[in-house]
Amino acid sequence: MRLIETRDYDEMSMIAAGIIGAQVLLQPDCVLGLATGTSPIGTYQRLVADCKKGLLDFSRVRTVNLDEYCGLPGDSKESYRYFMDHNLFDHVNIKKENTFLPNGCAPDMEAECRRYEELVSELGGADLQLLGIGRNGHIGFNEPADDFPAQVHQVELTESTIRANSRLFDRIEDVPTRAVTMGIGTIMKAGRILLIAGPEKKEIVQEAVYGKITPEVPASVLQLHKDVTIILAKS
């Protein structure tokens, strides 16, 4: 595991965009695993800027996102599909049909979980998976639990995650209580993992990197992955 500490969020975003950009340059048809949230916004802005300057070409890139809320259609502004379109896909030359997220409105969510797991697997897994981390150590929507979920599955969101995510909704009651997420097993199949975290995540990052490997701290499983880079912004 490589742990890079940066001065601030901007420097974190610059380095993360550099790593993702290098992946796209070296493997133009790569599969990028992507995340939503506050942490990757600056990274996506830099990728957009580099694409607009003609430095990056996304025309052959495929993407798989970690997760999606249940019950929010893709055109709802709080959905992760909307987030991805708005922050990245609409501003780079990626083909929309090559961008994949779980369908949180599928009529049969169990079937949707199986479909998404198979899709990730058919794409050969993510070549590079970008992750954020929750204050409780969650990755994707894999909350602290008794075991590490292997595959794409539905989750009941914890109180703390609902509270944390409510900042992006008009009212806390509007935050969906369920989501569909890649499992820890799905995430661990990625060739390389890049986790980015702001200063408020310092303690949980330390615990994930140096502490016991336990599903109580889902990100601690990353200690078992062969190629993980963590970028932690100091301020």
Smallest distance from ligand F6R to CB 54, Å: 29
Q: What is the 3-state secondary structure of the chain? A: CEEEEECCHHHHHHHHHHHHHHHHHHCCCCEEEECCCCCCHHHHHHHHHHHHCCCCCCCCCEEEECEEECCCCCCCCCCHHHHHHHHCHHHCCCCHHHEECCCCCCCCHHHHHHHHHHHHHHCCCCCEEEECCCCCCCECCECCCCCCCCCCEEEECCHHHHHHHHHHCCCHHHCCCEEEECCHHHHHCCCEEEEEECHHHHHHHHHHHHCCCCCCCHHHHHHHCCCEEEEEECC
Contact between 132 and ligand F6R per CB under 6 A: yes
**Owner of token pair 């408020």:** 200
Smallest distance from ligand F6R to CB 150, Å: 17
Which CB atom, from 53 or from 235, has the smaller least distance to ligand F6R? Answer: 235
Q: Of 6, 33, 48, 67, which lies in the binding site for ligand F6R, with binding defined by CB under 6 A?
A: 67
Select which of 68, 127, 138, 153 is catalytic.
Answer: 138
User: Chain centroid to CA 39: how far?
Assistant: 10
Q: What x-and-dash track marks residues 28-57 binding ligand F6R by CB under 6 A? A: -------xxxxx------------------
Contact between 84 and ligand F6R per CB under 6 A: no
Which CB atom, from 24 or from 139, has the smaller least distance to ligand F6R? Answer: 139
Contact between 134 and ligand F6R per CB under 6 A: yes
Stretch that binds ligand F6R, among 25-33, 97-105, 127-135, 148-156 (CB under 6 A): 127-135
Q: Using only C-alpha atoms, what is the Rg of the chain?
A: 16
Select which of 50, 112, 127, 143 is catalytic.
Answer: 143
Residue 216 is a catalytic residue: no
Residue 225 is a catalytic residue: no
Stretch that binds ligand F6R, among 8-16, 92-100, 109-117, 136-144 (CB under 6 A): 136-144
Residue 91 is a catalytic residue: no
Q: Which residues belong to the active site?
A: 67, 136, 138, 143
Binding site for ligand F6R (CB under 6 A): 35-39, 66-67, 132-134, 138-141
